[in-house]
């Protein structure tokens, strides 16, 4: 079994908010993974993976991401970690035109000076 959390489980046990017996059942082989903001070098490979994974059903024309859009993804802190990045790539696939994801296709929180509600027009299908 693999489990993950953003909380310090030892501190949660000490504070009585997590069962100690369950902690020891789960804590057999700890494998700490730093947050995405501490391993930005993984972002290009993850983006390409998500494009290959999600692209065929979301927007099969997309083959990659342009440099400006990738730079914007690399500059963001990703408080939601890899799941948030995956969601952003999927949203970008929905709004991308042509054969790559550009800045205009990124979610509003990633586009400079844009709000979450100022989406580009959906691509024609």
Q: Give yes or no: residues 40 and 100 share one domain.
A: yes
Query: Can you give the three-state secondary structure of 67-82, one letter per residue?
Result: HHHHHHHHHCCCCCHH
Residues 16-45, mean pLDDT to the nearest whole number: 94
Q: Give yes or no: residues 13 and 61 share one domain.
A: no
Q: Give yes or no: residues 21 and 69 share one domain.
A: no
Each residue's pLDDT tens digit, 48-70: 999 999 999 999 999 999 999 99
State in Å, rounded, how far the first CA of the chain is from the last one: 41
CATH code of 46's domain: 1.10.8.60
Domain count, the chain: 2
For the entire predicted model, the pTM comes to: 0.77
- Judge whether residue 113 has pLDDT over 70: no
pLDDT of the residue at 91 = 97
CA 57 – CA 125 distance, rounded (Å): 12
Q: Give yes or no: residues 63 and 87 share one domain.
A: yes
Question: Which tokens is 40 given?
Answer: 């930005």
């Amino acid at each position: 079994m693999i489990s993950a959390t953003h909380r310090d489980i030892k501190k949660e046990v000490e504070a009585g908010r997590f069962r100690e017996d369950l902690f020891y059942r789960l804590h057999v082989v700890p494998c700490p993974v730093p947050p995405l903001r501490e391993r930005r070098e993984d972002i290009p490979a993850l983006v390409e993976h998500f494009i290959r994974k999600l692209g065929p059903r979301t927007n099969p024309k997309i083959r990659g991401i342009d440099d400006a859009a990738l730079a914007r993804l690399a500059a963001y802190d990703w408080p939601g970690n890899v799941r948030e990045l995956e969601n952003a790539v999927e949203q970008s696939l929905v709004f991308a035109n042509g054969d790559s994801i550009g800045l205009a296709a990124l979610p509003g929180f990633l586009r400079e000076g844009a709000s979450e509600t100022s989406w580009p027009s959906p691509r024609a299908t």
